Amino acid sequence: MTDDPEPRTTTRAVRPYVITGGRAGAGGAPLSWETLVTATGTAAPGALQPEYRMILTHCRGLLSVAEVAAHLGQPPSVVQVLLADLLDWGLILSRPPVPRAERADAATLRKVLHGLESRL
């Protein structure tokens, strides 16, 4: 009987710097992790690398940058570079994150509450 060898840890077959072509960032401001992206439906060129194709497959609906990174199993910084390329090529659209709402004034909320109570 042979002893089972210790489980080996494996690394990704392709390193992130290879996927991005050695780029650490996009040309413009990076997309925030909350930015929503969706595929435009435009036909992708045949010579597109597999990571781009996987992004387009997952982005048939709205997904955040963080969700795309989770689906690809890549760091968000890598996905930000790939998404910036797809945006430049017109293959995806982005929608900026919704800004945080400011706190409502307590006096205004009291007036709304009293108005609702008077109607009930």
pTM above 0.75, yes or no: no
Give the span between the Cα atoms of 81 and 56, in whole angstroms: 14
Residues 6+ apart with CB under 8 A from 39: 56, 59, 60, 91, 92
Asked if residues 69 and 32 have their Cβ atoms less than 8 Å apart, the reply is no
Beta bridge partners of 46: none
For 56-72, how does the pLDDT look when each residue is reduced to its tens digit (9 = 90+)?
998 888 999 999 999 99
Rounded distance, CA 1 to CA 14, Å?
A: 36
Summarize pLDDT for 97-115 with one digit per residue, the tens. 777 777 778 888 899 999 9
